[in-house]
């Protein structure tokens, strides 16, 4: 192919503004998907993180029919001899009525969730103690930690206030104890114990008349990927008991199911946005074809074949896809890095749990690249149908 043909080829690429618009369309399509993933997947992972850290652990052990009657020590020791287990802690839950005399006014709140914890083991298995913004975590039999919303509903209860707690025991009798508020707990996004009161597990056992009983054990692993393996090993080790052991995905399934559907919908919208960028490429490529009819005519008249024209425009689509995918991926990774380093949150909601999903990143980049090529096929085909004489006369 002589110099004139190469010159005519270069003439097809001199509309930088149009090519820049096509590249920008691909870039925006990829960036939208990255932003959606960071925000919505990050929010989903943050909810899983907080459920694991505050309530269920990586494995939640309960009894299928009733309370667990094995001793705390035997269960905890069994778990903590496994190398993958960081800690295990017992918990017991009920509901309570709480009264407080505040500024001479009696304030009552009913049906407040109340959780009994072992203060020495719980600080190793959960991070609830880190959400205590005022005072201290539970440290004695008569101390109580109030969630920030419970404290607010009790007339802005403060550390040091004395409150009365009523719990109905297993026989239907009212059991009343007086506690001193030792701390106020508040977690970002309210995913912790903001709507709950926390007391010593032995005190709650006495009030419920369930000495020796436990509601659940939360097990924290140093390697969460081993959760299924540890769970199966635990159930095989206690075949004659009615234990129910669940990983975080199983124990929080009801809370997460709806959110998963929402993420799938958002991701679908993101990919529809990428399809829109493909239509933009088709439009821009068609504009280039219509604006370059004379150049195409010159190329055909000096010996270029239809396949040469086809290859040129497909190659142009490959350049658009490659540059757009590269710039879009770089912009998306920059946004992801920023969100991860700043622990991004919105309006004091829980901080996003941001991760680099390299499989999805590569998939998105390749998808956009392929779509750019596919979007160039029809304009390329149209360019090959132009006859030399008509193209030169039209130009």
CA distance linking residue 27 with residue 107, whole number of Å: 58
31-54 pLDDT, tens digit per residue, is: 888 888 888 888 888 888 888 999
Check pLDDT > 70 for residue 16.
no
Tell me if residue 289 falls in helix, strand or coil.
Answer: helix
- What separation, in Å, do the N-terminal and C-terminal C-alpha atoms of the chain show? 23
Six-digit token string for 303: 């010996």
The answer on pLDDT for 13 being more than 90 is: no
For the cut 70, the answer to whether the pLDDT of residue 237 exceeds it is yes
- Reported as a single tens digit per residue, the pLDDT across 84-113 is 999 999 999 999 999 999 888 999 999 999
Q: What is the pLDDT of residues 267-306, one digit of tens each?
A: 777 777 667 777 777 777 676 666 566 666 666 666 667 7
- Torsion on CA atoms 53, 54, 55, 57, rounded to nearest 10: 20
Greater pLDDT, 222 or 44 = 222
For residue 307, what are the contacts with CB-CB under 8 A and spacing of at least 6? 384
Where helices occur in 81-160 by DSSP H, the ranges are 119-125, 148-153
Query: What is the average per-residue pLDDT within 344-358?
Result: 78
Confidence of residue 1 (pLDDT cuts 50, 70, 90): very low
Give tens-digit pLDDT for 305-335. Answer: 777 777 777 787 788 888 888 888 898 899 8
């Amino acid at each position: 192919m002589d110099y004139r043909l190469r010159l005519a080829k270069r003439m097809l690429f001199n509309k930088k503004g149009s090519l820049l618009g096509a590249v920008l369309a691909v870039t925006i399509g990829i960036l939208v998907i990255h932003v959606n993933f960071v925000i919505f997947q990050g929010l989903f992972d943050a909810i899983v993180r907080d459920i694991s850290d505050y309530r269920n652990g990586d494995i939640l052990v309960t009894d299928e029919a009733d309370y667990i009657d094995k001793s705390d020590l035997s269960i905890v020791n069994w778990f903590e001899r496994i190398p993958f287990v960081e800690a295990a802690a017992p918990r017991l839950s009920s509901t309570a009525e709480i009264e407080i005399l505040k500024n001479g006014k009696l304030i009552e709140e009913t049906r407040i969730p109340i959780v009994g914890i072992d203060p020495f083991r719980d600080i190793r298995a959960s991070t609830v103690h880190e959400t205590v913004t005022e005072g201290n975590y539970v440290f004695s039999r008569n101390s109580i930690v109030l969630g920030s919303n419970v404290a607010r509903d009790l007339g802005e209860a403060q550390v040091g206030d004395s409150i009365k707690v009523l719990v109905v025991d297993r026989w239907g009798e009212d059991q009343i104890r007086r506690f001193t508020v030792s701390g106020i707990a508040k977690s970002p996004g309210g995913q912790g114990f903001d709507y709950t009161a926390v007391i010593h597990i032995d005190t709650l056992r006495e009030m419920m008349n369930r000495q020796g009983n436990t509601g659940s054990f939360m097990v924290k692993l140093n390697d969460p990927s081993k959760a299924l393996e540890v769970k199966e090993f635990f159930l095989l080790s206690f075949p004659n008991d009615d234990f129910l052991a669940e990983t975080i995905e199983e124990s929080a399934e009801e809370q997460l199911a709806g959110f998963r559907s929402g993420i799938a919908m958002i991701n679908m919208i993101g990919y529809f946005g990428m399809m829109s960028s493909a239509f933009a490429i088709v439009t821009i490529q068609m504009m280039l074809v219509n604006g370059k009819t004379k150049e195409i005519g010159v190329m055909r008249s000096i010996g270029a074949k239809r396949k040469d024209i086809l290859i040129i425009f497909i190659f142009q689509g490959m350049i658009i896809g490659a540059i757009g995918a590269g710039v879009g991926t770089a912009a998306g990774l920059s946004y992801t890095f920023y969100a991860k380093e700043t622990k991004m949150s919105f309006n004091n909601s829980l901080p996003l749990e941001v991760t680099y999903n390299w499989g999805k990143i590569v998939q998105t980049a390749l998808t956009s690249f392929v779509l750019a090529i596919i979007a160039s096929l029809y304009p390329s085909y149209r360019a090959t149908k132009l006859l030399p004489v008509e193209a030169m006369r039209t130009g």
